[in-house]
Amino acid sequence: MFEAGRVISFCPRSGGLVNRTFHISVLALFTLAAAPHAQAQTSEASMEKKIDALFSGATSPDAPGLAVLVRQNGQTVFERGYGVRDLRTKSKIDARTNFRLASFTKQFTAMAVMLLVHDRKIRYDETLTEIFLDFPAYGKSVTVRNLLNHTSGLPDYEDLMDAAEKAKGPIWSPEKQIQDDQVLELLKKENNGKFAPGTSWSYSNSGYVVLGLIEAKTSGKSYGEFLCERIFAPLKLSHTIVYQKGKNEVMNRAYGHSKEKENDVLKETDQSSTSATLGDGGIYSNLEDLAKWDDALRNHTLLSEKEMQPALASVKLNDGSEPHWPAEPGGDNLHPGKPVSYGFGWFLDPYERHQRMWHTGTTMGFRTVIERFLGKNLTIIILANRTDLDPEKLALQVADIFLSTKN
């Protein structure tokens, strides 16, 4: 028992020996207690140093860069910004800098669909022609599930844009961007998809644009309004938005950049003709909000563990076989001919035998990634506003630090 300024001993006095022994024992206890704490601090500092070493040379302080978040067991163990949000203001990147997520958005679109299934507003086996009555016959067997797991076979809307512009001349530009309803109209003009639904697998931005439209039609709210009401607001993602030019603004906004081939100089390349579509890549967010998103996924805040299971079940084709990336390289085909594991808005391929859910995002001026290692309670998020960096590769290098048997 302690009182301020003195030690109270319940032992009988014996010429001061007991008191001296007591003081030595207390000192020893404090030393033993402090040792693990000091070791932990040293270990954390060493870990931070290793992670920082991966990123400190990725960009210069006055160039576009990236934001890095590492969380383990629900705690942030590393959070840092490198470089600037744009080349005009030279504002530094930090945890509140908002980046365009690109295809990282798809996990939010999938969650919104699952919430509507929870509400019994739609079914996973509901077809396109049930939802959009004027959709052509090839949509009769395309289900919401097919759209979620990329087995719909819908034509790629960028290919349809190219075909339309070859026939009619320039239609879209960074100033006159294609909108979601225009994507749907292009799809309605087709007579067939790339393959029969469920017979093959092909990453489909078209499918996720259509999912965003389905959410709006079945909820009675716009895609942005529904996500704000059912995901962003409940989780207090106060700076995460579905960006729509002329309708809202992105605070603390990072602008995208790409290197010019002829002189290797970074140039602002923030918007393209396809930057306005929503369900496939229209969300902006930051590290601070995405840490809360990670918590919500881990704690099953929005949906129960059972309700989340379909999102984390790897798709099988109609014949029960494992899907593969298309054999022909190009576009969003990241691993031509290789097996692919995908659920609803998440890739599920393991890494070094570690179970994970992950997704990348690539668009004009931005590259992003989220890696969640489920058995290790480890999450790595990297948001970059320059396209010459490889966040996926960098994230796996961070993962190696934590997954190594030495650590």
Query: What local confidence, expressed as pLDDT, does residue 260 receive?
Result: 86
- Per-residue pLDDT of 70-124, as tens digits, reads 999 999 999 999 999 999 999 999 999 999 999 999 999 999 999 999 999 999 9
CATH number for the segment(s) 67-403? 3.40.710.10
Residue with tokens 């106060």: 238
φ/ψ (deg, to 5) at 111: -60, -40
**339/2 Cα distance (integer angstroms):** 65
Choice between 25 and 332, residue whose per-residue pLDDT is larger = 332
Q: Above pLDDT 90, what percent of the chain?
A: 82
CA dihedral 158, 159, 164, 170 (to 10 degrees): 50
225 burial via Cβ count (<10 Å: 0-12, 13-18, 19+): middle
| pLDDT 10s digits, 328-358 | 877 677 788 899 999 999 999 999 999 999 9
**pLDDT higher than threshold 60 for residue 308:** yes
Mean pLDDT confidence for 189-200 = 96
Who wins on pLDDT, 41 or 137? 137
Indicate the pairing of strand 356-363 with strand 366-373.
antiparallel
Structural domain boundaries in the chain: 67-403
